[in-house]
Structure 1
Amino acid sequence: MARRLDMERALIAFDLGTTHLKWVVTDLSGQIILAQNQMPSGVRTDGCHSEQNPLWVYDRIVEVLKDARVRWNIQRLSFSCAMHTLLVVDSEGNPLTQSLTWMDSCAFPAAEHLRKQDVAGDLKRQTGVPLHAMSPLVKWIHLRSTLPKSARPVSLKDYLVFRLTNRWQTDYSTAAASGFLGLNGDWCPLALHYADVSARDLPELHPVTLAIPDTTGQFEVVLGGNDAATAHVHLGIAPDGGVGVLAMGTSGALRTTSAYTVDSPELFCYTMGPTRGYLVGSAFSNIGNYLSWVANLFSLSVDEVLHRGIDTVRRGEPLPVAIPYLYGERSPWWREDLHAEWRGLTPLHGRDHMLGSALLSIAAMYFRGLQTLEHQGVPLEDLRIGSGLLDRPFLAQFLSDSLSRPLSLVDAQDASLMGAIDLARSEKGLTTPVIQRYYHPSHSSLYERTLERVSILVAYQKS
């Protein structure tokens, strides 16, 4: 123990992503010492399935933590997690299923059944979670008849916190994205009724900053939150609705933190817990994953797709229409059964025209999300970006031009992961961001082309 007291004190955070497990070690001031990531083992993404092995994730975290504690005196461990994971456990906390990600669409029949019962609107109004197969509530309803009576629904993060602390505790932001939690901050009776569970079957609710001693008493586990909540902490998004976040990763989002609920069928609205406001915005299912598919289709890298596609759009050449719904789509349609295609192809179109049309349609999705928020009375005076695809300056400039809005880059680090570190550092849980770079719109014709593409995508869905 004397040797450990001489070690540098440090913090560690893990981001439980859809496609990667990321971790970072920092000193107590938040300066990065180590940053790494790994694609989880045991991932299944065939057919309607999108799963991770929770035992592998836990074992890897324990291994990383063990190695870190050889080098540093780890004071706190914190989490950021992808939204909408579902893991079913037994009464002892043993997994009965894999961890299902938001991309798992096998619960589509359950979603359709609930839509036909005309309960979708009531659930959306009471929980803020659109009725869609991404929802852990819908996944649980789909699986419930095949499970033992003692089974209980939790998130992947809940399971990891339990393994590290022996306590079933969750944060408001993670619970809010599950579909089980009401916008009032209590478990929703209507959701519990359709799920056939009681509040006693679910973890205790706590703020994102709650710190719990681990089972060894050597460090504390900070609950952390979903990846949007922790990103908003790092990006300094106060609950006043004036600042938005534009995120581009495997999936995408355009969101803000509002002081009040927003009721729109196109938008999600998740409580962040007492005094923290509501996470409101659009979620897009086809961003980095769609671009990776396009890249593989043409035997290119994603960066080549971005460069070639953006250059083609900027030249103003006539483009086909890319319908980008490869994985169905969430905002604004919330439909699992949409499909991708290119329309209007002619012999004059080549590969780069198809790439450009894909980029233009992605820009149009963000444009529609921005329109919807502002039509709901949530004006965004500032749009902030962090890491992910948008750490590429040429792509950030393309989005600024397409939206005709300035974008401000907070830093090139992973905002969600660093937000988890911020929560480990501060009981207040909100940081003051340092703007690294501004992007100002400089290409008005891109705005006009994007606006036109929004109309085309809306007409496609209505056809």
Structure 2
Amino acid sequence: MTVMIGVDIGTTSTKVVAFDLHGHAQASANNSYPLCQSEPDMAEESPEEIFTAVITGLKQVVAQVAGHSIAGISFSAAMHSVIVMDADDQPLTQVLTWADNRGAAFAQQLRADGRGAALFARTGVPVHPMSPLVKLMWLQQAQPAVMAQAAHVIGIKDYVLFRMFGRYVQDYSLANATGLMNIFTMDWDPTALALAGVTAAQLPQLVDTDHQLKQMRPEIAQLIGIAADTPVVIGASDGVLSNLGVAAITPGTVAVTIGTSGAVRTVVDHPVCDPNGRLFTYYLAPGRWVIGGPVNNGGVVWRWARDAFFADRDYDQLTALAAKVPAGADGLLFLPYLGGERAPLWDADARGSFIGLTRQHDRATMLKAVLEGITFNLFAVMQLVAALAGQPKAIQATGGFARSGLWRQLLADVFAAPVTIPDSFESSALGAAVLGMQALGLCPSLDAVVDMVGQTHTQQPSDDAAVYAELMPVWTDCADRLAGAYAAIAGFQRRHPNANAAVAAQD
């Protein structure tokens, strides 16, 4: 058997999956790493721990497919990460992840003075502290000594590949997501570079998503257990590859993903930007561009709800409790903005809220409201995507939440449309593998993924769709009304950073 290995470097773990040439998973490994959030708005990780997770996962999967032929390895990675490297190729910083919001003031400034709109029109990246452009503006002010030593500015996949091959390269897809690349020239944007305080020479070499890297460092290949000349395809970002991995790569098909965070995305054949700057435009491959909106608050909010309300119970028990609560959670609404928000708000200061709380509501009702609030927020993004690309003909759902029957039904009811769930939940890893297959001539085109996604089932809307159609405008109105208070609340929290810790200690 011939297998292609897809590596998905995610926010909280790296997943490595070996697929046969029909897209069937033959082996897998998942290695996690911690996210450091020791101060407000901070979200950092160790590049060495992530590199170790990648190599460990590859070694584990290679051992599982011993005796089979490994055609190659292809990569997916989370977007918007930043690592500053010195002249000796050593990290000067940790990995600043997409969730790091410390550059919020710079994003606000760019939006306020009009420069943000012009940048968005050239880069396709909404102005937000998630983007490396804004992170670098913050680093220039907050850590000038570090930036003075910066020989290279890279992302996490660039770091992993440098350790494997000794070259700094970045694919168009991840470069597009930095906010530093012009999507019409497919090169670094001079104005964005000037704002970030970096030069093109400090950034990786730009290559297409099907670019092959040659001759792995022998010691790394030996550690993994493969030949040094095993083909490695650079791949793309996890967002666009997730669309590929659920076969949502034709106009009219929308992918809805919820993992730690979430997104709503669809594919168009040329770059098109939302005139209001609320959606991203990201490159996948020639003639395939993904537009959509990412949300900060997906599974991470569900995890918070478990820890806050039912720390002694597992997720299956929580889901069973929430399933007993009627649709609409007895009029209790939840705005899920616990970590600021990207789409649809693009406001790092956004904060979460329960609205409509009464003495009759209990913890189970709050759980159901949390699930509904996460889904309402995704639907709000869906409405923006539909306004730009047209009403969807099909919805594909993926991510960890897709394992939950309750959430699948909730998604179908809130979206008031049938939702198809592919067999494979590791859509970004499969997308990476398919891109690798196409790059190596093992499949004729990316469209071959349609026959690889495995058996699927479709969730039809229930009568509860009418309840959510009634509540959604109320939820949207509440979100709009509270938007003006977020800056003041976030400002108070930053001025009193120990307040939450003190409360937690008392509990």
The reply to whether TM is greater than 0.5 is: yes
Of residues 265-274 and 278-287 in structure 1, the stretch that sits farther from structure 2 once superposed is 265-274
When residues 149 and 265 of structure 1 are mapped into structure 2, their CA distance, relative to the original with a 3 A threshold, is farther
Find the counterpart in structure 2 of residue 215 from structure 1: 217
Contact 2:335 2:374 (8 Å CA) reproduced: no
Give 1:60-75 correspondences, 5 Å limit.
Answer: 60-69=53-62, 71-72=66-67, 73-75=69-71
Query: Matched residue of 1:426: which SS?
Result: helix
The Cα of 1:36 is off from its aligned counterpart by: 1.9
Give 1:120-269 correspondences, 5 Å limit.
Answer: 120-144=116-140, 145-146=144-145, 147-184=147-184, 185-213=186-214, 214-216=216-218, 217-240=228-251, 242-260=252-270, 261-265=272-276, 267-269=278-280
The Cα of 1:195 is off from its aligned counterpart by: 1.3
The Cα of 1:134 is off from its aligned counterpart by: 0.8
The Cα of 1:218 is off from its aligned counterpart by: 3.0
**Alignment: residue pair count:** 453
What's the CA shift string for 1:331-388, capped at 9, x where partnerless? 1111111112223322222212222222222221122112112222432111111231
Instruction: Identify unmatched segments of 5+ residues in structure 2.
Output: 219-227, 440-444, 486-507
The Cα of 1:312 is off from its aligned counterpart by: 1.7
Structure 2 Cα separation of the partners of residues 291 and 435 of structure 1: 28
Contact 1:313 1:360 (8 Å CA) reproduced: no
When residues 86 and 267 of structure 1 are mapped into structure 2, their CA distance, relative to the original with a 3 A threshold, is same
Of residues 195-204 and 262-271 in structure 1, the stretch that sits farther from structure 2 once superposed is 262-271
Find the counterpart in structure 2 of residue 318 from structure 1: 330
Structure 1 Cα separation of the partners of residues 454 and 62 of structure 2: 30
Query: Matched residue of 2:187: which SS?
Result: coil
Query: Matched residue of 1:102: which SS?
Result: coil
When residues 141 and 424 of structure 1 are mapped into structure 2, their CA distance, relative to the original with a 3 A threshold, is same
Find the counterpart in structure 2 of residue 301 from structure 1: 314
When residues 274 and 359 of structure 1 are mapped into structure 2, their CA distance, relative to the original with a 3 A threshold, is closer
What's the CA shift string for 1:156-181, capped at 9, x where partnerless? 00111122122222111111111111
Determine whether 1:429 maps to 2:439. Answer: no
Which of the numbers 110, 113, 120 marks the counterpart of 2:106? 110
Contact 1:23 1:417 (8 Å CA) reproduced: yes
Structure 1 Cα separation of the partners of residues 285 and 412 of structure 2: 34
Find the counterpart in structure 2 of residue 5 from structure 1: none
Contact 1:330 1:336 (8 Å CA) reproduced: yes
Output the amino acid matched with 1:165: F
The Cα of 1:54 is off from its aligned counterpart by: 1.0
Structure 1 Cα separation of the partners of residues 336 and 173 of structure 2: 29
What's the CA shift string for 1:12-60, capped at 9, x where partnerless? 222111111211123444432221212115x312222211211122233
Output the amino acid matched with 2:446: G
Structure 2 Cα separation of the partners of residues 445 and 462 of structure 1: 28
Output the amino acid matched with 1:132: H
Find the counterpart in structure 2 of residue 397 from structure 1: 409
Query: Matched residue of 1:380: which SS?
Result: coil
Query: Matched residue of 2:148: which SS?
Result: coil
The Cα of 1:302 is off from its aligned counterpart by: 3.4
Structure 2 Cα separation of the partners of residues 180 and 190 of structure 1: 8
The Cα of 1:114 is off from its aligned counterpart by: 3.0
Contact 1:133 1:336 (8 Å CA) reproduced: yes
Contact 2:250 2:267 (8 Å CA) reproduced: yes
The Cα of 1:321 is off from its aligned counterpart by: 2.6
Structure 1 Cα separation of the partners of residues 389 and 50 of structure 2: 41
Query: Matched residue of 1:164: which SS?
Result: helix
- Higher percent of residues as helix: 2
The Cα of 1:421 is off from its aligned counterpart by: 1.5
When residues 78 and 377 of structure 1 are mapped into structure 2, their CA distance, relative to the original with a 3 A threshold, is closer
The Cα of 1:408 is off from its aligned counterpart by: 1.0
Contact 1:291 1:305 (8 Å CA) reproduced: no
Output the amino acid matched with 2:14: L
Output the amino acid matched with 1:215: R
The Cα of 1:325 is off from its aligned counterpart by: 1.0
Structure 2 Cα separation of the partners of residues 33 and 120 of structure 1: 45
Output the amino acid matched with 1:309: A
When residues 273 and 442 of structure 1 are mapped into structure 2, their CA distance, relative to the original with a 3 A threshold, is closer
Structure 2 Cα separation of the partners of residues 350 and 67 of structure 1: 45
Structure 2 Cα separation of the partners of residues 44 and 255 of structure 1: 28
Structure 1 Cα separation of the partners of residues 399 and 164 of structure 2: 29
When residues 66 and 390 of structure 1 are mapped into structure 2, their CA distance, relative to the original with a 3 A threshold, is closer
Which of the numbers 331, 343, 363 marks the counterpart of 1:351? 363
The Cα of 1:248 is off from its aligned counterpart by: 0.7
Structure 2 Cα separation of the partners of residues 392 and 274 of structure 1: 32
Find the counterpart in structure 2 of residue 282 from structure 1: 293
Determine whether 1:363 maps to 2:375. Answer: yes
When residues 206 and 343 of structure 1 are mapped into structure 2, their CA distance, relative to the original with a 3 A threshold, is same
Find the counterpart in structure 1 of residue 96 from structure 2: 100
The Cα of 1:391 is off from its aligned counterpart by: 2.1
Determine whether 1:456 maps to 2:467. Answer: no
Contact 2:19 2:430 (8 Å CA) reproduced: no
When residues 126 and 118 of structure 1 are mapped into structure 2, their CA distance, relative to the original with a 3 A threshold, is same
Structure 1 Cα separation of the partners of residues 361 and 236 of structure 2: 45
Contact 1:239 1:276 (8 Å CA) reproduced: no
Structure 2 Cα separation of the partners of residues 360 and 62 of structure 1: 38
Contact 2:17 2:25 (8 Å CA) reproduced: yes
The Cα of 1:272 is off from its aligned counterpart by: 1.0
Instruction: Identify unmatched segments of 5+ residues in structure 1.
Output: 1-7
Structure 2 Cα separation of the partners of residues 356 and 125 of structure 1: 39
Structure 1 Cα separation of the partners of residues 60 and 127 of structure 2: 42
The Cα of 1:91 is off from its aligned counterpart by: 3.2
Determine whether 1:12 maps to 2:23. Answer: no
What's the CA shift string for 1:292-351, capped at 9, x where partnerless? 10111112433444443343242x553233222110111111111111222332222221
